[in-house]
Amino acid sequence: MKNQRINLFLLLVALLSMTACESESASTAEAAERPPNIIIIFADDLGYGDLGTYGNPTIRTPHLDQMAEEGLKFFQFYSGASVCTPSRAALLTGRLPIRSGMVSDRIRVLFPFSYKGLPAEEITLAEALKERGYHTGIVGKWHLGHLPPYLPLQHGFDTFYGLPYSNDMIPTPGAKWGPPRKYPPLPLYQDTTVLETNPDQRLLTKQYTDKALAFIDAHQEEPFFLYMPHSFPHVPLFASPDFEGKSSRGLYGDVVEELDWSVGQILNALKEKGLDQNTLVVFTSDNGPWLTEKQEGGTAGLLHQGKGSTFEGGMREPTIAWWPGRIAPGITQSLGTTMDIYATAVTLAGGALPGDRNYDGTDLSPVFDNPKAEVRDEVIYYLGAQVFAYRKGPWKMHLKTLNPYIGEQPVAHDPPLLYQLEHDPSERFNLAAEHPEVLEELRVALQRHLDGVKPVPSLLEDIDQSYFE
């Protein structure tokens, strides 16, 4: 009898083990068939030299440093523009903002006095991924239109928590720059409802992080796209009590260290939920540091200039792609842009770019598989509606230059300036006289691009003039 009980027990254990194995196999197969989750973490005005992993000596960014150790770090990755609104339009449409009207030579970004926003005809990344069965959410700063027709839920997002524009667009008596600050109180949105006005900005990064974690938790059983455009380190700077005064770099360092903490929370949550093996996380910035803010602005490291400029410091961004099990740890010198994130995400989701419009991004998956792969050889540097510079391979040609935010006018160069960026990333040595043949090659290549661009009227210039009265 005793032996019979033992045999029965062993048989039961074997059956349970087989059931568990079958369940695990089914779960593994289901995960393999499910397209990857996509998370984009987008800092605001973060400089190329502001992270420890990119050489900053005083700002501690252990989570981003670890993300770089576990993922792929890009050294030559670019934003679609050097200021907020067009940069975000480029990221979310996969197209240069000249194609969507999200540029102007007179008004660089959208303001609370703007009447327009991202056109409904544009297919955002959220809309493209919803077509593939993704749940979509944005937590953070939108800045592509604050009026009802232009808010995130009108552009493919299921949920929105955050600010409609930059955190400095608030009523400010005696503002040191810009138009009179007759702005309305800063609204904090949940979907289409204003939760409160003039929120305590010290708490924003923590609130964004809590909302992002809740979104991941709520949608872990289905493919999801989370877009997390932080409000910082754009000025004015605010850090929570847990971080304020803790950095040796001052308040700017406090803010960046809290952003680093936030990234760590997201990555740890993915690991704890077993989602890390099926989630692509990309961390980058909308443009370079706001240098005229001095100690409240960041640094571009060895790169020249910053926000508002088409020098490298204005548009080359710190960028890390993380996907354990798919992206091997490493570094890459391959060129990439934020517009490539759009094409990459759509491809990974099993979709294809619509054929009814021109796209300026390309799939980065080959670089994920081989850091030496090249998927593009050119970068076009627009400032407003004009091309100021053009890069092909290692060579960069400046047609015009501008030192931004100090009242200077653009300077045209004839012949254009020419830099070999892989030898001279700081753009110190103009080689135009030594290489006229390279300039000619770049001119011809740029003209091919321009021939394929049909500019549309600027939507940034449709404004309420009463703000200036």
- pLDDT number for residue 160: 98
Residues lower than pLDDT 50 in the chain: 1-2, 6, 9-16, 19-31, 177
CA–CA separation, 435 and 332 (whole Å): 27
CA–CA separation, 427 and 208 (whole Å): 37
CA–CA separation, 230 and 142 (whole Å): 9
Q: Is the pTM of this model over 0.85?
A: yes
- pLDDT number for residue 175: 58
Maximum pairwise Cα distance, the chain: 100
Does the N-terminal peptide bond of residue 425 adopt cis geometry, omega within 30 degrees of 0? Answer: no
Asked if the 380-451 domain carries CATH number 3.40.50.150, the reply is: no
Q: What is the dihedral of CA 194, 284, 307, 141, to 10 degrees?
A: 0
- pLDDT number for residue 173: 63
Going by their DSSP bridges, the two strands 135-141 and 224-229 should be labelled as parallel
- pLDDT number for residue 7: 53
- pLDDT number for residue 221: 97
Going by their DSSP bridges, the two strands 187-190 and 193-197 should be labelled as antiparallel
- pLDDT number for residue 12: 47
- pLDDT number for residue 6: 45
- pLDDT number for residue 2: 45
For residue range 390-409, list pLDDT tens digits in order: 999 999 999 999 999 987 89
* Tokens at 392, concatenated: 């092909």
- pLDDT number for residue 27: 40
Q: Residue ranges of the domains in the chain?
A: 34-376, 380-451
CA–CA separation, 449 and 40 (whole Å): 28
- pLDDT number for residue 446: 98
Q: Do 34-376 and 380-451 have matching folds?
A: no
- pLDDT number for residue 406: 82
Looking at 1.10.150.530, 2.40.50.100, 3.40.720.10, 3.40.50.1220, the CATH number of the domain 34-376 comes to 3.40.720.10
Catalytic sites, residue numbers: 84, 143
Burial class (CB in 10 A: 0-12, 13-18, 19+), 457: exposed
